[in-house]
């Protein structure tokens, strides 16, 4: 089989294409020497608010900080229970635990990789009761306070049902939409479907900065005030007028201008991701044992194109396919090799442990194929050929691995 050089993700062509505009944006910051906060950060926050159709955008240092700040603004109590997905980057759960609260893992849907609203409703019916407006966990007596769904790989979770559940049980929703900027669910943009939306602009995200960056999004003025306050040492403005406990999680002006320059390009990047996904889906359709991603909930922006790789008996061939592709110069990545309920320190209370068989199985057989907007059709087709070859001629695949 022909050798290739196709990374799982690359920014080199994109940066080359937009270098002059990006350097111009960075130069503005140098000229004004407005490195921290100020007009460039505010301009990006306003631009993002207009794009999302949201009242308030509060920039911060990372997606992890956005989750932490959202939990802080919602006053998550010690021993509070937050229902969340086990199939995600660790931050969507670990930030819950930093407050002494408990992530409770509800299994996912195999075809969207997102939290199952049906299993979430069933867990609440079985394990909770309402005392006044508060949902209480029967076995521990802990309050159940909120839900953190993740819009994994660029597709929104099912907010129609999640919002109904949240209303019935009086729970807030923090939408972790680190991977889905530009996706929509119904008429609304990802990030605006919960009480607070948490974004990451890590460089590999669909809208990436050139370092760490993130944002919280909300329509609630009280929460917006709290978020503004907590991101800079408990004060709403500069000066030494502290009103509450806070941290330093400001959005850097250098990152803000990069994001401002790239936000108008996002729809184009996402359209190209969708076109690549369409080529993958049509060329890889019909391979026994290969589950392709499906667009079920709204407009998917394919942060990742993630397949499940099994043989005809359901035994995972994921590691073999990954090695085979690597052997011919195609880099595929495993997001994620373990389901979060398998991480011991995230199991904060034995009485709250759940089994998540679907997430566990998905973690054992998922593989994300190369996905970045500047991939050429030829490169996408080369990946398809290689994957087909692996399934058609397993013996040939083995030879490459050994050589």
Ligand X SMILES: Cc1ncc(COP(=O)(O)O)c(C=O)c1O
The CB-nearest residue to ligand X is 63
User: Taking the complex as a whole, how short is the minimal distance between the CB of residue 65 and ligand X, in angstroms?
Assistant: 7
Nearer to ligand X, 67 or 400 (CB): 67
Handedness of CA 87, 92, 98, 100 (dihedral sign): negative
Q: How far apart are the C-alpha atoms of 181 and 128, rounded to whole Å?
A: 33
Binning the chain into helix, strand and coil, the percentages to the nearest 5 are 45, 15, 40
Decide: helix, strand or coil at residue 81: strand
User: Taking the complex as a whole, how short is the minimal distance between the CB of residue 37 and ligand X, in angstroms?
Assistant: 19
Residue matched to tokens 């889905």: 180
Radius of gyration of the chain (CA): 22
User: Taking the complex as a whole, how short is the minimal distance between the CB of residue 123 and ligand X, in angstroms?
Assistant: 21
Nearer to ligand X, 150 or 173 (CB): 150
Q: How far lies 194's CA from each of 15, 135, 301, 330, in Å?
A: 33, 18, 19, 38
Nearer to ligand X, 66 or 277 (CB): 66
Q: Which residues of 119-146 are buried (b: 16+ CB within 10 A; e: fewer)?
A: bbbebbeebbeeeeeebbbeeeebbbbb
Nearer to ligand X, 159 or 202 (CB): 202
Q: Under a CB-based contact definition with an 8 Å cutoff, are residues 95 and 67 in contact? A: yes
User: Taking the complex as a whole, how short is the minimal distance between the CB of residue 91 and ligand X, in angstroms?
Assistant: 4
Q: Under a CB-based contact definition with an 8 Å cutoff, are residues 251 and 262 in contact? A: no
Nearer to ligand X, 317 or 369 (CB): 369
CA angle, 292 then 207 then 235, to 5°:
130
Q: What's the burial of 277, exposed, middle or buried (CB within 10 Å: 0-12/13-18/19+)?
A: buried
Nearer to ligand X, 152 or 284 (CB): 152
Please name the residues in contact with 5: beta carbons below 8 A apart, sequence gap of 6 or more: 329
User: Taking the complex as a whole, how short is the minimal distance between the CB of residue 376 and ligand X, in angstroms?
Assistant: 26
User: Taking the complex as a whole, how short is the minimal distance between the CB of residue 89 and ligand X, in angstroms?
Assistant: 4
Nearer to ligand X, 106 or 150 (CB): 150
User: Taking the complex as a whole, how short is the minimal distance between the CB of residue 321 and ligand X, in angstroms?
Assistant: 23
User: Taking the complex as a whole, how short is the minimal distance between the CB of residue 181 and ligand X, in angstroms?
Assistant: 11
Nearer to ligand X, 92 or 348 (CB): 92
User: Taking the complex as a whole, how short is the minimal distance between the CB of residue 165 and ligand X, in angstroms?
Assistant: 21
Decide: helix, strand or coil at residue 352: helix
User: Taking the complex as a whole, how short is the minimal distance between the CB of residue 215 and ligand X, in angstroms?
Assistant: 10
Q: How far apart are the C-alpha atoms of 363 and 63, rounded to whole Å?
A: 22
Nearer to ligand X, 178 or 196 (CB): 178
List residues binding ligand X (CB under 6 A). Answer: 62-64, 88-89, 91-92, 150, 176, 178-179, 200, 202, 212, 214
Q: How far apart are the C-alpha atoms of 288 and 24, rounded to whole Å?
A: 50
Nearer to ligand X, 88 or 155 (CB): 88
> For the sheet containing 366-369, what is the strand order?
290-291, 305-309, 366-369
């Amino acid at each position: 089989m022909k050798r290739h050089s196709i990374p799982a993700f690359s920014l080199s062509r994109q940066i080359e294409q937009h270098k002059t505009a990006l350097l111009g944006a960075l130069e503005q910051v140098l000229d004004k020497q407005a490195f921290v906060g100020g007009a460039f950060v505010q301009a990006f926050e306003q631009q993002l608010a207009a794009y999302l159709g949201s009242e308030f955008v509060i920039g911060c240092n990372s997606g992890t900080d956005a989750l932490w700040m959202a939990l802080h603004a919602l006053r998550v109590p010690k021993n509070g229970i937050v229902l969340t997905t086990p199939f995600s980057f660790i931050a969507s759960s670990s930030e819950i635990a930093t407050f002494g609260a408990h992530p409770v893992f509800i299994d996912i849907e195999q075809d969207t990789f997102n939290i199952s609203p049906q299993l979430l409703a069933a867990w609440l019916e079985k394990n909770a009761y309402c005392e006044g407006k508060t949902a209480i966990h029967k076995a521990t007596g802990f309050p159940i306070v909120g839900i953190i769904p993740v819009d994994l790989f660029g597709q929104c979770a099912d907010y129609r049902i999640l919002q109904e559940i949240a209303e019935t049980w009086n729970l807030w929703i923090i939408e972790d939409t680190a991977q889905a900027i530009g996706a929509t669910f119904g008429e609304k943009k990802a990030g605006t479907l919960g009480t607070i939306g948490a974004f990451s602009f890590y460089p590999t995200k669909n809208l990436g900065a050139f370092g760490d960056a993130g944002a919280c999004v909300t329509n609630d003025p009280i929460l917006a005030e709290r978020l503004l306050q907590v991101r800079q040492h408990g004060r709403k403005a500069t000066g030494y007028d502290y009103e509450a406990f806070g941290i330093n999680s400001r959005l850097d002006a250098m990152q803000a201008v990069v994001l401002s320059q790239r936000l108008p390009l996002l729809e184009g990047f996402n359209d190209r991701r969708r076109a690549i996904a369409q080529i993958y889906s049509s060329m890889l359709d019909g391979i026994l044992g290969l589950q392709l991603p499906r667009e079920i909930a709204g407009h998917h922006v394919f942060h990742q194109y993630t397949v499940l790789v099994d043989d005809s008996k359901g035994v995972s061939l994921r590691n073999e396919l990954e090695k085979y592709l690597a052997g011919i110069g195609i880099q595929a990545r495993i997001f994620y090799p373990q389901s979060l309920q398998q991480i011991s320190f995230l199991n904060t209370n034995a009485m709250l442990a759940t089994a998540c068989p679907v997430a566990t199985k998905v973690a054992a057989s998922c593989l994300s194929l190369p996905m970045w907007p500047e991939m050429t059709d030829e490169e996408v087709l080369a990946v398809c050929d290689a994957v087909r070859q692996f399934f058609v001629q397993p013996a040939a695949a083995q030879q490459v691995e050994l050589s």
